[in-house]
Structure 1
Amino acid sequence: MSLFPTERSVRTTPEGLLWEPGERWVRGRKRDVTVVDSRHPVLVWEPGVPVPCYAFPREEVRTDLLRPAKNPRTGAHTGSQTFYDLEVDGELVENAAWTFPADDLAGHIAFEWFRHWDSGLDHWYEEEEEIFVHPRDPHKRVDALPSSRHVVVEIAGTVVADSRRPVLLFETSLPTRYYLPREDIRLDLFTPTDHRTGCPYKGTAEYWSRRGEGDIPRNILWSYPEPLLAVAPVKGLLAFYNEAVDITVDGEREERPVTPFTASLTT
């Protein structure tokens, strides 16, 4: 008997949703109130959305805290017409939850994970680990590997980094990111910003922008000062957006990729 499944567990609905049963114990809290406590979550991918969300059986949701939405955000999620406001200790959170129209997902309620429009919960946990931004995709892998490749980074013809001790971060569906020691970067050419982003695989990132004028995107350089354990080798190292700089690896200039981040890189 084969040790490997012959078919993927992901299933498709007529509405174009992809879904599969999850195996993690998932909890969601608003303040100190547990709104979701589920051992039977379902991961759902909406068309055109690169990251999944969770939907939960109604019996594992505090439905007594949900109210029919006063201003339903129709169209915000694939085919969804039923939205709920969440009321906890007198605080009303609009459009905190919704249901998908697919028969396969009948009896399930999905929640805003990352606080879009201030409509999400405050904290989410998979088992005992707090998770940020969105659920982790079980079909996505992230590896951080120390390397001896020679990496040179240029911005508008100026060399801003030169390193032979990078850590290469490989992440499914994204270009390789080159994390470099601070000593190998011309940090005098950059200034720190107050911009921060979160990643469920890596942690919270801090950013730098290029000094001076020119058509250089803001927040082009970032670092994870306290990365999650899975990518510990990148701690304190810095990486550039391949989409906006010129990177040469072992003497070969790489093409600038087009990714979901490309549109967000503004000058």
Structure 2
Amino acid sequence: MTTHPAHPTARSIRTTPEGLLWEPSERWVRGRKGDVTVVDSRHPVLVWEPRLPVPQYAFPREDVRTDLLRPAKSPPAGSHTGSRTFYDLDADGEVRANAAWTFPADDLAGHIAFEWFLRTDTGLDHWYEEDEEIFIHPRDPHKRVDALASSRHVRVEIEGRLVADSHAPVLLFETGLPTRYYLPREDVRLDLFDATDHHTGCPYKGTAAYWSWGGGGDVPPNILWSYPEPLPAVKAVRGRVAFFNEVVDITLDGERLERPDTPFSRMLRVGSRS
């Protein structure tokens, strides 16, 4: 049996001197720009950079349409860990600057990484793992997302005002984040909130719609959200609503929970000043 040099049979996470973590993946991954397939790989590598909480793919050079890549005219400084070379992508009648790059690590020599499509129009338009389209960023094989129905008692207050009271939550446990409490709409005072045009995407859950608090006070916007059409793995949260624990007061089974400090905390603080 022939083993691909970047795809050993014993799977494990490796560390490079530059601080990168990487692991070979067994998924068939493709990336398209318009109608052009730019990447088609059965030997991708997942790479974690120290400053990024999510992984990204790097691909053997032979699995990439390198004829569509040009040395970047204006390579960014310090945007990726020790990145060695940046490329502009010229495909489907459009040039996208700094769409791809190489890492300096010897372990990843001969591999090319790509920006993902939601990063300021720099990446490809569509990505697929096997025959399923994936969004936002690659899914982390070391992360779990579980949505479990519960009968725990959840109360939510904002500025001292009770806005939700439920004995029928769905608890969503996601590695590295606080538990989120998805509540039936009839248990939430939605009349106190205003729907916004804000939307976010998650590769584990789908696309979320948001509401902002309408009761005044020092409350950031878009603190309440729902997944109207969640991905199958978390279908139990469909149509339910959840609050950012970081900025509301949640009482669980009579115990007031501390507000967690998460990567969303700064974003919410900045949003409150905008």
TM (normalized to structure 1)?
A: 0.96
> Is residue 74–residue 81 contact of structure 1 (8 Å, CA) maintained in 2?
no
- Would you say the 8 A contact 2:35–2:92 is kept in 1? no
Partner residue, 1:52:
55
**One of 242, 246, 249 as aligned partner of 1:243:** 246
Number of the residue aligned with 1:4: none
| Contact 1:98 1:110 (C-alpha < 8 Å) held by counterparts | yes
Deviations 1:66-123 (A, max 9, x none): 0000111121100113100000133100000000000000000000014312101100
Q: Structure 1: give runs of 5+ residues left out of the alignment.
A: 1-6
Distance in 2, matches of 1:217 and 1:16, equals 35
**C-alpha distance in 1, partners of 2:46/2:92?**
29
**Identity of matched residues, %:** 78
SS in structure 1 at match of 2:120: helix
Cα deviation 1:26-54 (Å, max 9, x = unaligned): 00000011100010000000012110000
1:91-170, aligned counterparts within 5 Å?
91-170=94-173
Cα distance, 1:226 vs structure 2: 0.3
Deviation at 1:8, TM superposition (A): 7.0
In 1, distance between residues paired with 2:162 and 2:11?
Answer: 45
Matched with 1:20 is 23
Q: Which residue of 2 aligns with 1:74?
A: 77
Task: Structure 2: give runs of 5+ residues left out of the alignment.
Answer: 1-9
Q: Answer yes or no: is the 8 Å Cα contact 1:16–1:46 preserved in 2.
A: yes
**Structure-2 separation of matches of 1:79 and 1:157:** 48
Aligned match for 1:62, one of 40, 61, 65: 65
Q: Which runs of 4+ in 1 moved over 2 A?
A: none
Q: Which letter maps to 1:198?
A: G
2:34 alignment partner AA? R
**In 1: Cα distance, 2:174 partner to 2:117 partner:** 21
Q: Summarize deviations over 1:220-256 as a string: whole Å, max 9, x none.
A: 0000000000000000000000000000010011000
Equivalent residue in structure 1 for 2:33, among 30, 33, 36: 30
Q: For the residues of structure 2 that align with 1:123 and 1:247, how far apart are their CA atoms?
A: 38
Contact 1:19 1:42 in 2 (8 A): yes
CA distance in 1, matches of 2:168, 2:35: 45
Partner deviation per Cα, 1:174-195 (whole Å, 9 max, x = no partner): 0000000000000000010000
Secondary structure (helix, strand or coil) at the match of 1:118 reads coil
Query: Which stretch shifts more, 208-217 or 220-229?
Result: 208-217
Distance in structure 1 (CA, Å) of the matches to 2:140 and 2:228: 23
Equivalent AA in structure 2 for residue 213 of structure 1 = G
Contact 1:166–1:179 (CA under 8 A) maintained in structure 2? yes
Tell me by how many angstroms 1:16 deviates.
0.2
1:201 aligns with 2:180: no
Count how many residue pairs are aligned between Structure 1 and Structure 2: 261
CA RMSD of aligned residues (A): 1.0
Q: Name the residue aligned to 1:3.
A: none
Question: Aligned to 1:220, which of 219, 223, 236?
Answer: 223
